Amino acid sequence: MLQIPFIRDNKDRIISNLAKRNIDATDMISEVLKLDETRRSTQTQLDNTLAEANSLSKEIGNLFKSGETQKATILKEKSGTLKELSKELTENLNETAEALNQLLYKIPNVPNDSVPAGNSEDDNEEIFRAGDIPKLFDGALPHWELAKKYDIIDFELGNKIAGAGFPVYKGKGARLQRALIAYFLDKNTAAGYTEYQLPHLVNEASGFGTGQLPDKEGQMYHVTADNLYLIPTAEVPGTNIFRDVVLNESDLPIGITGYTPCFRREAGSYGAHVRGLNRLHQFDKVEILRVEHPDHSYQALDGMVAHVKTILEELQLPYRILRLCGGDLGFTSALTFDFEVFSTAQDRWLEISSVSNFETFQANRLKLRFKNKDGKNELAHTLNGSSLALPRVLAGILENCQTEQGIKIPDVLVPYTGFSIID
């Protein structure tokens, strides 16, 4: 959520940069400033009324003590009027503050100046590419056919148990899935991230804290009886560790990592592009999160990008990095880099990671602050990234590493799988 002082001081820049998201925010920002002015003037009027009422109360007490009952009675009537006025002002103040908050919840984060304008993923900027795209043999198969051929993933069984988008991993497929999770976590902890095991459901406050609510409410599974939500990513429970927390500046930076299943309704997702592992309702992901000093967050973002690069290079998968345009940028993000792996059998790029800086947007919702060197509370910056989402990484390995003898496991994973080929 944007901060009011930031909006006051940067109105034109905010409107200009939100235009990169194809949003004309002029009216919204003007309404925010109008409501804020009303809120502040009402607060001032309330403070003055309460101060006058307190002063009058003391005066009335003194008059009664000195026997000036008539004067005290007159002032008591005035005191009653002030109490009614303060009650009315308090109600107006609460209504204005609520209207202001509801409007602020609807305004997305302001894109960083480096974010390109654009309407959709077609306007994203490719900034890096590495790895050779393999030339497959005649008869090479997409991963959903390979899964059936080697009996490692059963999509039909998952459909029977739960429905489309809930695959069942079997045998070496399950072992490869577990190997990837362990490898990702080991890489992250070696890089200084502390591992956490996190809840798979969160409350409403957690959803609001990281910006999934109200923006992505329709994409989340809602357990209505308990008003809990299945997590769409470990970002939600992981970041909410720091909700309503005041850190010391010396505590920063903080880096955590965690593996969780993720649940997304993916309403309206149909067609050949979502076949197999390309888009699921339940999938596994290893996440990295950082809480940073505002002065260092973009350096930290570069470090996260470099970290994910090393993982993909060790997996020997061809990949590219995109800087997302405004039209494809997530609601809470100021700047996002997407990693995509090339699927040779499908002849298309598959997104496997997003690494984002949210600046103070989430921290303001979370009330995540730190005491700076002057002893004042200051909002921290939050960042997160996938390292990595498993389904499309697995799809890339199956498709790009297939040979006529079987699927060759990347060397870095063999110590985790215990086998070097799926045949």
Token digits of residue 51: 């101060």
The dihedral over CA atoms of 371, 377, 379, 385, expressed in degrees to the nearest 10, equals: 20
Distance CA 338, CA 320 (A): 8
14 close to 29: Cβ distance less than 8 angstroms = yes
**266 known ligand binder:** yes
Distance CA 369, CA 362 (A): 11
**314 known ligand binder:** no
Classify residue 200 by burial, with Cβ atoms within 10 Å: 0-12, 13-18, 19+: middle
Cite the DSSP H helix spans in 274-356: 297-315
Phi, psi for 191 (deg, rounded to 5): -85, 5
Smallest Cα–Cα separation from 231: which of 256, 270, 198, 255? 198
**52 known ligand binder:** no
**386 known ligand binder:** no
**354 known ligand binder:** yes
Distance CA 287, CA 241 (A): 14
**287 known ligand binder:** yes
**351 known ligand binder:** yes
CA distances from 15 to 7, 101, 322 (A): 10, 18, 24
263 close to 282: Cβ distance less than 8 angstroms = yes
**265 known ligand binder:** yes
Distance CA 394, CA 407 (A): 11
Smallest Cα–Cα separation from 281: which of 327, 242, 231? 231
User: Residues forming the annotated binding site?
Assistant: 233, 264-266, 287, 351-354, 384
User: Residues forming the annotated binding site for ATP?
Assistant: 264-266, 351-354
User: Residues forming the annotated binding site for L-serine?
Assistant: 233, 264, 287, 384
